[in-house]
A = this chain, B = another copy of it.
């Protein structure tokens, strides 16, 4: 079942022969983690790329004065890792943490690069992944620079309402770089405004 999801994901991105696909799939190992498991923390090197078969994860870092900033949220059907550290194999500055019980399929950095060598078409998978990661990051950056708290919330509601509906207020607030109190205030204001229409 998990493997079917992963097969579908890979098949949508890159054309592999049945043999190449079997090799790729054989390098992913299943793993199951309870809620709030930290898979990577600052100082550690990101050794795995995770396909999320079930559950939700976040990537976050902690500011000097202790505030958590969630940079990225990942639901099932997507890949996740501490990508900067996965690329450089230098210690991460970020945390990767499960937000729900997660069923993952993980490939090690070593096997990922073995696959890039053994199956040249796998480059296209990685290209797709990097392009997507770049676009997501740029959107988060521009949202941060150019939008105020209410605009950030409304953009998230428009682009990815699932995240707002499914995840705790505290996590959504840290993803939008605002306090939970500010998020609650914005929600209440928007609700009142829509009720008075």
- Residue of A64, A93, A131 ringed by the most chain B CB atoms within 10 A: A131
- Residue of A63, A87, A134 ringed by the most chain B CB atoms within 10 A: A134
A177 on the B face (CB < 8 A): yes
Of A16-24, A49-57, A135-143, A164-172, the stretch lying at the interface with chain B is A135-143
A127 on the B face (CB < 8 A): yes
A57 to chain B, nearest CB (A): 17
A160 on the B face (CB < 8 A): no
Could you give, for residues 43-85 of chain A, a 1 whenever the CB lies within 8 Å of some chain B CB and a 0 otherwise? 0000000000000000001011000010100000000000110
Given contacts A141-B140, A144-B145, are A135 and B63 in contact (CB under 8 A)? Answer: no
Which residue of the partner chain B has the closest CB to A124? B123
The interface residues of chain B lying within 8 Å CB-to-CB of A127 are 123, 126-127, 130
Given contacts A69-B145, A141-B144, A146-B63, are A84 and B123 in contact (CB under 8 A)? Answer: no
The interface residues of chain B lying within 8 Å CB-to-CB of A142 are 61, 93
A133 on the B face (CB < 8 A): yes
Chain A contacts to B: CB under 8 angstroms:
61, 63-64, 69, 71, 83-84, 87-88, 93, 120, 123-124, 126-127, 130-131, 133-135, 137-138, 140-142, 144-146, 177
8 contacts between A and B (CB under 8 A): A69-B146, A84-B135, A87-B131, A88-B135, A130-B134, A137-B137, A137-B138, A144-B144
